């Protein structure tokens, strides 16, 4: 994995500091061309990994990239799924079967047969595979070497003790897409314990890692101990703790933990992207 990974929160009005900034970002990036303008800056600065949700508009971003494969030949995309709001809204409006019919590719009869039988049998692993395949449709032909399970699902499964899902997800993305599984979580120490119990070795785990313990379940000191002593590939996100820490102080803290493989960040201006990338590289 690359040391620097660019994220997509700013494109879809996710700002942990300010609702006002979220609204401003929503207006700025309502056109996909505006998103691509930022991704062009990112790519030209040498950041070649984009970690993103499966928001409907990411499909348009993928279309742009596919349309100019020569320009973006080294661009890697790390999909993070599911995009929970999309499915929650659809289930409310359409019900479970209606949601499966809407999102799973193939004929309506085939969808009902596969999805309906999975629901009837409570075969949630089969439903998971169907929905992963539906989400991955937008990334066809692109380099998706790591596919992530979003924290809203990871941590729910973790709380329910449904470890077989982690194994099934890992096997499915490897067999069908030649990709490694990644897991986003707000409880990295517990997740690592459970993944190791499942026989998933050296997993890729993306979690909040920052100087003040923001969204680090179990506390900062436990995270530091796990990172130093355990065998996995950590990706640090939310390193600025929603703006509570200055960029230099934040990156200095994360950079001091030498076993952190990658740092994920988002920004919307060329100056901030360049500054953050240079800070990360200087702290290696």
Mean pLDDT, residues 22-41 = 88
Q: How many CB atoms lie within 10 A of CB 277?
A: 20
Better-scored residue on pLDDT, 108 or 85? 85
Q: What is the pLDDT of residues 187-222, one digit of tens each?
A: 999 999 999 999 999 999 999 999 999 999 999 999
Q: What is the pLDDT of residue 127?
A: 79
Q: What is the pTM of this model?
A: 0.88
In this prediction, residue 120 carries a pLDDT of: 41
Q: What integer pLDDT is reported at residue 24 of this predicted model? A: 73
Task: Tell me yes or no: is domain 4-282 CATH 3.20.20.100.
Answer: yes
Domain ranges of the chain: 4-282
Confidence band of 107 (pLDDT split at 50, 70, 90): very low
Could you give the residue ranges of the DSSP H alpha helices within the chain? 19-28, 32-44, 58-67, 84-103, 108-120, 124-136, 151-160, 163-177, 188-197, 220-229, 247-255, 270-282
């Amino acid at each position: 994995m690359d040391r620097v990974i660019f994220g997509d929160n700013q494109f879809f009005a996710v700002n942990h500091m300010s609702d006002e900034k979220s609204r401003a970002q929503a207006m700025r990036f309502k056109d996909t061309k505006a998103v691509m303008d930022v991704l062009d800056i990112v790519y030209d600065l040498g950041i070649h990994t984009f970690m993103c949700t499966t928001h409907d508009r990411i499909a348009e971003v993928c279309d742009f990239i596919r349309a100019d494969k020569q320009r973006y030949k080294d661009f890697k995309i790390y999909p993070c799924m599911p995009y929970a709001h999309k499915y929650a809204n659809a289930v409310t409006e359409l019900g479970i079967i209606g949601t499966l019919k809407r999102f799973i590719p193939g004929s309506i009869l085939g969808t009902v047969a596969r999805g309906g039988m999975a629901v009837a049998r409570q075969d949630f692993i089969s439903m998971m595979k169907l929905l992963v395949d539906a989400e991955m449709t937008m990334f066809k032909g692109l380099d998706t070497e790591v596919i992530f399970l979003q924290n809203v699902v990871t941590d729910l499964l973790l709380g329910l003790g449904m470890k077989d899902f982690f194994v099934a997800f890992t096997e499915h993305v490897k067999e069908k897409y030649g990709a490694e599984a990644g897991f986003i979580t707000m409880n990295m120490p517990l997740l690592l314990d459970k993944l190791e119990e499942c026989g998933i070795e050296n997993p890729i785990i993306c979690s909040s890692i920052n100087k003040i313990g923001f969204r680090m379940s179990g506390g900062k000191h436990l995270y530091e101990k796990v990172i130093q002593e355990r065998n996995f590939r950590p990706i640090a996100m939310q390193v600025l703790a929603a703006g509570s820490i200055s960029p230099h102080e934040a990156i200095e803290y994360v950079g001091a933990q030498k076993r952190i493989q990658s740092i994920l960040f988002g920004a919307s201006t060329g100056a901030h992207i360049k500054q953050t990338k240079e800070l990360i590289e200087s702290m290696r």
